[in-house]
Structure 1
Amino acid sequence: MTLNQLLYFQTVAKHQHFHKAAEELNISQPSLSRSIATLEEELGIMLFERQGRNVRLTKYGRIFLEHAERILKDVDMATLQMKQLTGDEGHVDIAYVFPLAGHYIPHMVRRFLSQEKNRKVTFSFHQLHTSALIEGLKNEKFDVVFGSYVENEPGIQFVPIIHQEMVIIAPEGHPLTESPLVRLQDLEDYPVIGYDRTSGLGKYTNRLYEIYGMKPNIICESPDEYAISALVEENFGVALVADVETIHERNVEIIKVKDQEIAHTVYMGYLKNHYMIPAVKNFIKFIQKEGTRL
């Protein structure tokens, strides 16, 4: 059974006449008759019965017509959606780490959509840790992701977009705020709230501690700056975090690390040598051009 046979059957059922149906389909009447006969033979049932020059659907033909019309309607809808995806509409599935949810992602997507050629594009948004972002990207659940760089992923193109300064946050009136020179190593003197060790920033900060030969007293781990700064605000400890908007909304002291330039880079990632619809390609180009300026 082919889609052409379903279309031929539907057209004959509409006109109740083989000659008129053949004219609409722009095929010969014998070809149309053979196609319907083959379909009936395959189904093992008569779909039409003749009435003079006309034909009419049998009881079973009417049942089959319901299925055929539903199938053809689904095909039309699928074809329309594919044309939309390859035109100026399209859909982009993006996923990103939590610190980008407050400003960067909403702002950049809105700027992208503000361009006339992109105004019909739609987006799906997902917030996850970097490991889940990479897994979803490789499984084609996401088109573009934003998070930490991950080694040994040759199939993924990583593009640096943001360099986040790392700062220490402490409760108001904490002794660290009184020192004119705060070093990263000073964290060892206090309880530390860390990032979840499985997250990109968790792995990054733990590598920093190893590089500087530190063994901070990490009393708990939290998923993002919102949760970490809440604990710091309530004087559970201090923390080394990315300088993002969230920490500025808390009653915490933000302390720059002196004489040690520490920054975390956020990357955009997408699959190499992988087919992309125009909307995804255009969004990637937009971020490469505009996303690093924010």
Structure 2
Amino acid sequence: MDLLQLKYFQTVAKLEHMTKAAHALQIAQPALSVTIARLEEDVGVPLFNRTGRNIVLNEYGKAFLERVTRALNELEAGRQEVSDLSGSEFGYVSIASTFMSKRFCNRLASFAQLYPKVNFQLTQTTNENAKLRLLESGEVDFIFTIKKIERPDIVCVPLVEKDIFLAVSPVHRLANRGTVALEELAGEPFINLKADESIQEFCHAMCLKRGFAPKVVCTCDSSQGLVNLVSAGFGVTFFPSPGRQKPNSPFVLLKVEDFDYKSFLYLAWKEKRYFSKAALYFREYVIHQSKVKKKRNRFSTVR
């Protein structure tokens, strides 16, 4: 059993597809199949259930994957620590996030300009629990999450605070209104974003208190898709925003009366984990930039 076998096994276990895994690893599929077979021979049990071309982790494989992931993460942390001790600035930051918005990407680009030798490993998922599992397993350094994680082993720092508005098309019947009562939205077609489960739950509960259930006509994975659908007049949506209507915005934001809810974006990490210099620099940079932005927002509000 060697390190390469374990890395190959980890990839196959995640994808549960030999052809896709071979493509991701950039090796021939027969060679990958032989490597996995030899690993199973070393372990002494089959790690996958095979049905034709399909492979699925079995009970042994799931238990082995958990240990392999932990071991590979520890080895990578050791490599990074040695690199830091040697004075090298090389390293990477691993992040899991739901959105890859223009603002998010610009922030990464700004950091990269300050630290050009740092590389990023980005994982995008709309599932908050999946992000938490990646953090727990040590597969990522940080996650950006809309759910506050209240656990003693995880640090969760709020970065962005937003109010919830109603977003409508510029030609919607309510578009010229500054505010809207929740009761006026009964019967309106709603578009939901799959990632915003906590916002959806709150808004649904508030609508029920007003005597109606939101008429959801579409649920989408992409925030850009949500924006396009609303701007096209397909439906309306509850939308988190700092409160300032952007110039040339594709939709109109309306304040909802008696709607007291704040949406937060958090940066979370495991407290007892070795962080490379690159990861520490990134954490400091993100938190600092959020504080600068909050000060600017307060100043613009006062003016």
Q: Find the partner of 1:122 among 111, 119, 123.
A: 119
Q: How much has 1:150 moved relative to structure 2?
A: 4.2
Give the equivalent residue in structure 2 for 1:202: 197
Q: Find the partner of 2:162 among 161, 164, 173.
A: 164
Distance 2:184 2:120 in 1: 44
Distance 1:211 1:169 in 2: 17
Residues 256, 79 of structure 1: alpha-carbon distance in 2 compared, 3 angstrom cutoff: closer
Give the equivalent residue in structure 2 for 1:112: 111
Give the equivalent residue in structure 2 for 1:273: 272
Q: Secondary structure at the match of 1:267?
A: strand
TM-score, normalising length: structure 2: 0.60
Residues 268, 289 of structure 1: alpha-carbon distance in 2 compared, 3 angstrom cutoff: same
The one-character-per-residue Cα deviations of 1:237-293 (angstroms, maximum 9, x if unpaired) are: 111122389x97764333233454543110001111222222212211222222343
Give the equivalent residue in structure 1 for 2:89: 88
Residues 139, 184 of structure 1: alpha-carbon distance in 2 compared, 3 angstrom cutoff: farther
* Aligned residue identity for 1:103: K
* Aligned residue identity for 2:201: N
Q: Secondary structure at the match of 1:137?
A: helix
Distance 1:80 1:281 in 2: 16
Q: Which runs of 5+ in 1 are unaligned?
A: 1-77
8 A Cα contact 1:229 1:250, kept in partner: no
8 A Cα contact 1:166 1:263, kept in partner: yes
Q: How much has 1:208 moved relative to structure 2?
A: 3.3
Root-mean-square deviation (CA, aligned residues, Å) is 3.1
Distance 1:261 1:122 in 2: 40
Give the equivalent residue in structure 2 for 1:187: 185
Larger-gyration structure (1/2):
1
Q: Secondary structure at the match of 2:94?
A: strand
8 A Cα contact 1:149 1:266, kept in partner: yes
Residues 92, 264 of structure 1: alpha-carbon distance in 2 compared, 3 angstrom cutoff: same
Give the equivalent residue in structure 2 for 1:10: none
Q: Which runs of 5+ in 2 are unaligned?
A: 1-76, 294-303
8 A Cα contact 1:93 1:125, kept in partner: yes
The one-character-per-residue Cα deviations of 1:85-105 (angstroms, maximum 9, x if unpaired) are: 55322111112121xx22333
Q: Secondary structure at the match of 2:101?
A: coil
Distance 2:171 2:94 in 1: 44
Give the count of matched residue pairs. 210
* Aligned residue identity for 1:210: A
Residues 248, 228 of structure 1: alpha-carbon distance in 2 compared, 3 angstrom cutoff: farther
The one-character-per-residue Cα deviations of 1:200-250 (angstroms, maximum 9, x if unpaired) are: x222231233146252111221123212222223332111122389x9776
Distance 2:79 2:152 in 1: 35
TM-score, normalising length: structure 1: 0.61
Distance 1:291 1:108 in 2: 11
* Aligned residue identity for 1:207: F
Residues 211, 287 of structure 1: alpha-carbon distance in 2 compared, 3 angstrom cutoff: same
Distance 1:229 1:281 in 2: 34
Identity of aligned residues (%): 20
Q: Secondary structure at the match of 2:200?
A: helix
8 A Cα contact 1:149 1:158, kept in partner: no
Residues 93, 185 of structure 1: alpha-carbon distance in 2 compared, 3 angstrom cutoff: farther
Q: How does 1:140-159 map to 2 (within 5 A)?
A: 140-151=138-149, 153-159=151-157
Give the equivalent residue in structure 2 for 1:257: 256
Distance 1:292 1:104 in 2: 16
8 A Cα contact 2:178 2:254, kept in partner: no
Distance 1:204 1:211 in 2: 11
Q: How does 1:1-294 map to 2 (within 5 A)?
A: 83-84=82-83, 87-98=88-99, 101-115=100-114, 118-129=115-126, 130-151=128-149, 153-196=151-194, 199=195, 201-211=196-206, 213=209, 215-243=213-241, 251-258=250-257, 260-294=259-293
Distance 1:238 1:132 in 2: 28
* Aligned residue identity for 1:256: K
Residues 150, 79 of structure 1: alpha-carbon distance in 2 compared, 3 angstrom cutoff: closer
Distance 2:248 2:124 in 1: 20
Q: How much has 1:192 moved relative to structure 2?
A: 0.8
Distance 2:202 2:81 in 1: 45
